Amino acid sequence: MVRLPESKIPPINITGATEQNIDLKAQVLAHSRVLWVDDHPDNNSIVRHFFEKKLGITFHIAKSTNEALKQLGDKSQGSVPGGYDLVITTFSRQNEPTGGFDLLTAIRTNYHWIPVIIYAKSADTIRQQGMAFGADGITSDPQELFDLSVRALLRR
């Protein structure tokens, strides 16, 4: 895993947040569990490290839709079935050109209460369709991913 030096981690910038309510939110989010679905998880290790460092969020990695569904199905993992408070997924994966939508459809069918955010380079071109599929957010921007994730986790 690539570690971003402490001095290189940018400051938190949650839209409409103050330092005091960021601290409160961080305390609330400190034990959140996020399933990150990406066939190349090292590509986003800096983003995950930022979440871990700033909020104490725990990430679990799945490299395919099937692996993600197996992890979601493990009801012994935590407080909610599957134990995850949020799923962040890429749109496409090797051998799964629409893996993000496939996973989103399965989650909406079986785990409708878990928020899902699609993090993809093609966010602008898939946004309308992804929202129709039930995504809680779609972005290609790390700061927006952070904001969407915090809002989704605070709603739970």
Residue 85 belongs to a domain: yes
How far is the C-alpha of 120 from the C-alpha of 92, rounded, in Å?
Answer: 8
Residue 116 belongs to a domain: yes
Residue 24 belongs to a domain: no
Radius of gyration of the chain (CA): 15
Dump pLDDT digits (tens) for 38-53. Answer: 999 999 899 999 888 8
Residue 80 belongs to a domain: yes
Residue 22 belongs to a domain: no
Number of domains in the chain: 1
Q: Sign (positive/negative) of CA torsion 123, 121, 101, 44?
A: negative
Q: Which of 36, 42, 43 is nearest to 59 (CA)?
A: 36
| CATH code, domain with 79 | 3.40.50.2300
Dump pLDDT digits (tens) for 90-107. Answer: 988 888 888 999 999 999
Residue 13 belongs to a domain: no
**Tokens, residue 88:** 């962040």
Dump pLDDT digits (tens) for 3-14. Answer: 334 444 444 454
Over range 68-89, report the average pLDDT. 73
Q: Which of 87, 81, 111 is nearest to 37 (CA)?
A: 87
pTM of the model: 0.79
Contact 116, 109 (CB under 8 A): no
**Tokens, residue 103:** 């996973």
**Tokens, residue 117:** 């955010």
Would you give the DSSP letter of residue 32?
-
Residue 128 belongs to a domain: yes
**Structural domain boundaries enclosing 113:** 31-155
